[in-house]
Amino acid sequence: MALPSTNGFDPRRHVGVHAERVSHVSSTDFPGHYPGEDHSWNLAKFQEKLAVNVERLSNRSIDFDLIGVDASIANAFRRILIAEVPTVCIERAYVWDNTSVIVDEVLSLRIALVPLNVDPALLDFKDPQNDQATDRNTLVFRLRAACQRRKNAPKDTTDPTKLFVNSEVLSSQLEWMPQGEQATVLASCPPAPTNPNIVLAKLRPGQEIDMELHAIKSVGKDHAKFCPVATASYRLLPKIILNPQKPVPPDLAEKFQKCFSPGVIRIHPRTKEVTVDEKSARFESMSREVYRHPEFEGCVQLARVRDHFLFNIESEGFYPPERLLHEAVSVMRTKIAALRRAAEALLDDSRGRAEDVEMAEG
């Protein structure tokens, strides 16, 4: 953390944001980089600096700060949130009848992209090649819709909902067919789309759709429809460093304030002195507008704090937003455990064979 007296640009903690480039991007706190300093791994020191602060929570998204970790860990969590947290989505479509204008494959893709409210923990993974579909790893839905003319429709209307029955096939028409034990296990929260108003197809009289759909549990790596987040992203905390040797001239204070996002720069009403509002610094969009004006040259240095990550995660589908980081951390720990088992197996191998280490044909 910064010593209170230094408010300048610290290349060890800040990424420099200049007009045409960025500088000091990589972290340098590795053992041996600075002579005499010890940067080796120390859990206690890490835990002192680590902070996770939730800033905003809504029913669909969460904003939190992750402070004190390296970029590789923050990125690992972000990648896991996007690609490796499991969800349940429709994977196979068996079409008995489709006389609508939407062709089978396009209609199947539309249905597959509908998010379901199924807890992935209740299903097992299904290996598409080898496993049989069982009630432990597959959910079955039926979509049946036929469009007919309404007998007593008003004569002069052109509104399809008034003229026809089932002119639009909505996601609410996906019926869950419980298989085997699912009727009891999933009774408390019957599987259904999270949003019942998604239009899947439009029909006219005489057109019918009759499909059976199988849903499985999988991850975003396999197909993007399994991604549990609308997106998960992070940015680094912006830092605006004013140069005490070259203060902003009072008559240009208003112009200086306009170069930044609203609320970031405060002007003292009497002395017209310019200061940075620490609490609002996070709203700065770093447009670098201030570098475009020669009168402010040397007055300010834009930077970002290298280990302060502002995460924004928007949930899509089953998980409430506050659960997503828990899931990502548990997936990360599963991966670490799998690697550890494999490495320990290698260790046993190498010990068992005395000096003879098993070489793979690389």
Partner 1 sequence: MAEITQKIKIMKGAAPDLSAATYQIFDESHTMGNALRWMIMKNPKVEFCGYSVPHPSENLIQLRIQMYDGLSSLDALLAALSNLDDVCDSVEEKYRASLAGGQYQRWEEKS
**93/95 Cα distance (integer angstroms):** 6
- Closer to partner 1 by Cβ: residue 2 or 345: 345
**87/9 Cα distance (integer angstroms):** 44
**Residue 350 binds partner 1, judged by CB under 8 A:** yes
Contact segment (CB under 8 A) with partner 1 among 47-55, 99-107, 162-170, 294-302 equals 47-55
**Residue 12 binds partner 1, judged by CB under 8 A:** no
**Residue 183 binds partner 1, judged by CB under 8 A:** no
- Considering only 70, 97, 127, 175, the residue that binds partner 1 (CB under 8 A) is 70
- Considering only 2, 177, 224, 338, the residue that binds partner 1 (CB under 8 A) is 338
- Considering only 12, 60, 150, 246, the residue that binds partner 1 (CB under 8 A) is 60
Interacting residues of 76 by C-beta distance below 8 A, sequence separation 6+: 332
**Residue 336 binds partner 1, judged by CB under 8 A:** yes
**Are 200 and 170 in contact, with CB atoms under 8 Å apart?**
yes
**Residue 192 binds partner 1, judged by CB under 8 A:** no
**Residue 332 binds partner 1, judged by CB under 8 A:** yes
- Considering only 43, 129, 132, 155, the residue that binds partner 1 (CB under 8 A) is 43
**147/208 Cα distance (integer angstroms):** 6
**Residue 66 binds partner 1, judged by CB under 8 A:** yes
Contacts 24+ apart (CB under 8 A), 70-79: 70/27, 70/307, 71/27, 71/306, 71/307, 71/309, 74/234, 74/309, 74/311, 76/332, 77/325, 77/328, 77/329, 77/332, 78/232, 78/233, 78/234, 78/311
Structure tokens at 358: 């098993």
Contact segment (CB under 8 A) with partner 1 among 63-71, 87-95, 145-153, 278-286 equals 63-71
**Are 192 and 117 in contact, with CB atoms under 8 Å apart?**
yes
- Closer to partner 1 by Cβ: residue 70 or 97: 70
The nearest distance, CB 304 to partner 1, in angstroms, is: 19
- What burial class does residue 16 get, using C-beta atoms within 10 Å of its C-beta: 0-12 exposed, 13-18 middle, 19+ buried? middle
**Residue 45 binds partner 1, judged by CB under 8 A:** no
Q: Which DSSP state fits 131?
A: P
**Residue 223 binds partner 1, judged by CB under 8 A:** no
- Considering only 6, 80, 136, 282, the residue that binds partner 1 (CB under 8 A) is 80
- Considering only 15, 17, 69, 203, the residue that binds partner 1 (CB under 8 A) is 69
Residues forming beta bridges with residue 267, ordered by sequence position: 274
**287/259 Cα distance (integer angstroms):** 8
Residue type at position 249: P
Return residues touching partner 1 (CB under 8 A): 30-32, 38-41, 43, 46-47, 50-61, 64, 66, 69-70, 72-73, 75-77, 79-80, 83-84, 195, 322, 325-326, 329, 332-333, 335-347, 350, 355, 357-362
